[in-house]
Amino acid sequence: MVPGIHRPAAVYVDLAAIRQNIKEEIKHLRPDQKLFAVVKANAYGHGAVRIAQEAVKVGVSGFCVAILDEALELRRAGIIQPILVLGVTPVKYAPLAAVNGISLTVPNLKWLQDSEPELSQNHLQLKIHLAVDSGMGRIGFSEDEEFIAANEFLLNNQNFNVEGMFTHFASADSSDDSYFLSQVDRFAHFKKLLKLKPRWIHVDNTAASVFNKRVHSDLVRFGIGIYGLNPSSNPAGPDLKTAIKLKPAMSFVSELVQVHTIHKGQGVGYGSTYIADQDEIIGTVPVGYADGFIRKFQGFKIKVGSEYCPIVGRVCMDQLMVKLPCKMAVGTKVILISNDPQAPNSIKKAADYVDSIHYEVACLLDDRLPRIYYN
Ligand SMILES: *Cc1c(COP(=O)(O)O)cnc(C)c1O
């Protein structure tokens, strides 16, 4: 995919906000805790390499990504800190991870048994973290016998370096702690079964950390907080209060490329879902769902100049139209998503509008939009 550098549309990322959010979180950590910056999915749409470089400047201890390719991208960019792949990597790529000093997640005993010959043939040692499914129902050990067998398999096994053991919470962003606490108990049970001494036993994501859940975690897998967003995802509800101050880093900005008047009875967009009932001024913005700005945004108000204007008609693949209150010049700035958390077009408001969460809105903004860094 080529980034569109010859059209007026881009995702802007405030690097001072990124650094500040990480610094605030590091200050908030307990003395023995470390921060691993989660930069999966192109750093939640913010650009993985650049965000990782900023994170290094403010002293993070390591990184988490979702897939091996994301880890390799960081290594190619010169990132030397530990990197953990949180998802399940096919065993045939275990040697590639080992050669690059990348840590992989172990989902079950079979994964260990199948990856061992791949490693031993190549005389390699792989760094691993054992995943425990304590209630997310996604990946990891969930049966005692299998976990014990994996521990025995790993004792004195030269092909593996057991660096960590972790679990992931399904509802650390909820004010109701009951399910969260059941996961804490289940994980504690697995800790008792350990026959190894991993350096990092970790459970915290952003939510568990910034909502002060009191649970032991040697490191915090700090994701959404880096980007200045509150992890509480109460749909359309008020956010839970975070223990640290977060400053959103992302804005999505374009310009009007055409402004024209349409007359009573004329439609706008595919299917003519909007029909003018008088002479109206329509502005065209050169972004659409192919940029990740989905069709559900029809009707959402974005900022054109100093006015909030509704998107009228269906969002097209590469363009969308807004109804303007008055004639505005071609080239007028359009803020589709604001980094001001109070703005009516903040990413949280945008996510509420399309029945989603800001994580998804940010990740969907794709590579056709250049990322422009400032501060
Ligand atoms: C994505 C992810 C995180 C980070 O979550 P945030 O809510 O963005 O802080 C942490 N741990 C795991 C296992 C994840 O998949």
pLDDT tens figures, 85-96: 999 999 999 999
Which atom of ligand 1 lies nearest, measured to the CA of 225? 9
Residue of 46, 64, 187, 363 to mutate, ligand 1, most atoms within 8 A of C-beta: 64
Neighbours of 175 (CB within 10 A): 10
Q: Confirm whether 343 is domain-assigned.
A: no
Residue identifier of the C-alpha nearest atom 13 of ligand 1: 168
Q: Confirm whether 269 is domain-assigned.
A: yes
Q: Are residues 257 and 212 in the same domain?
A: no
Report the number of distinct structural domains present in the chain: 2
Instruction: Determine if ligand 1 sits within 6 Å of the CB of residue 362.
Output: no
CA-CA distance, 49 to 42, in Å (whole number)? 8
Q: Confirm whether 156 is domain-assigned.
A: yes
What pLDDT shows up at residue 1? Answer: 84
Q: At 235, is the pLDDT very low, low, confident or very high (cuts 50, 70, 90)?
A: low
Instruction: Determine if ligand 1 sits within 6 Å of the CB of residue 62.
Output: no
Which atom of ligand 1 lies nearest, measured to the CA of 222? 9
Reported as a single tens digit per residue, the pLDDT across 122-174 is: 999 999 999 999 999 999 999 999 999 999 999 999 999 999 999 999 999 88
Instruction: Determine if ligand 1 sits within 6 Å of the CB of residue 221.
Output: yes
> Does 138 carry a binding-site annotation?
yes
CA distances to 131, 160, 288 from 117, in Å: 21, 11, 48
> Does 295 carry a binding-site annotation?
no
Percent of the chain past pLDDT 70, that is, above it, reads: 99
What pLDDT shows up at residue 238? Answer: 78
What pLDDT shows up at residue 214? Answer: 86
Residues assigned a catalytic role: 40, 270
CA distances to 7, 9, 96, 284 from 329, in Å: 17, 17, 54, 11
* For range 171-200, the mean pLDDT: 95
CA-CA distance, 348 to 150, in Å (whole number)? 42
CA distances to 75, 78, 87, 118 from 72, in Å: 5, 10, 14, 19
Instruction: Determine if ligand 1 sits within 6 Å of the CB of residue 303.
Output: no
Q: At 236, is the pLDDT very low, low, confident or very high (cuts 50, 70, 90)?
A: low
Q: Are residues 187 and 325 in the same domain?
A: no
CATH of the domain at 153: 3.20.20.10
E-strand ranges in the chain read 9-14, 34-38, 62-65, 83-85, 103-106, 126-132, 160-167, 200-202, 204-205, 219-222, 250-255, 258-262, 267-268, 274-275, 280-285, 301-304, 307-312, 320-324, 333-337, 371-374
Reported as a single tens digit per residue, the pLDDT across 283-327 is: 999 999 999 999 999 999 999 999 999 999 999 999 999 999 999
Please tell me the distance between residue 31's alpha carbon and the centre of ligand 1 in angstroms: 22
Which atom of ligand 1 lies nearest, measured to the CA of 172? 7
Q: Are residues 46 and 112 in the same domain?
A: yes
3-state class (DSSP) for residue 55: helix
Q: Are residues 223 and 262 in the same domain?
A: no
3-state class (DSSP) for residue 99: helix
Reported as a single tens digit per residue, the pLDDT across 40-52 is: 999 999 999 999 9
Averaged confidence pLDDT in the chain: 97
Contact 374, 14 (CB under 8 A): yes
- The label of the residue with tokens 């010959």 reads 117
What pLDDT shows up at residue 107? Answer: 98
Write the DSSP string, 138-160.
SSSB--HHHHHHHHHHHTT-TTE
Please tell me the distance between residue 205's alpha carbon and the centre of ligand 1 in angstroms: 5
Please tell me the distance between residue 221's alpha carbon and the centre of ligand 1 in angstroms: 6
Q: Confirm whether 358 is domain-assigned.
A: no
Q: At 234, is the pLDDT very low, low, confident or very high (cuts 50, 70, 90)?
A: low
What pLDDT shows up at residue 232? Answer: 87
Instruction: Determine if ligand 1 sits within 6 Å of the CB of residue 86.
Output: yes
Please tell me the distance between residue 39's alpha carbon and the centre of ligand 1 in angstroms: 9
Contact 328, 259 (CB under 8 A): yes
Residue identifier of the C-alpha nearest atom 6 of ligand 1: 223
Q: Are residues 199 and 281 in the same domain?
A: no
pLDDT at 64 over 90: yes
Q: Are residues 207 and 274 in the same domain?
A: no
Q: Are residues 216 and 285 in the same domain?
A: no
Instruction: Determine if ligand 1 sits within 6 Å of the CB of residue 205.
Output: yes
Domain that holds residue 260: 250-338
Instruction: Determine if ligand 1 sits within 6 Å of the CB of residue 38.
Output: yes
CATH of the domain at 273: 2.40.37.10
- Residues composing the chain: 375
Q: Confirm whether 374 is domain-assigned.
A: no
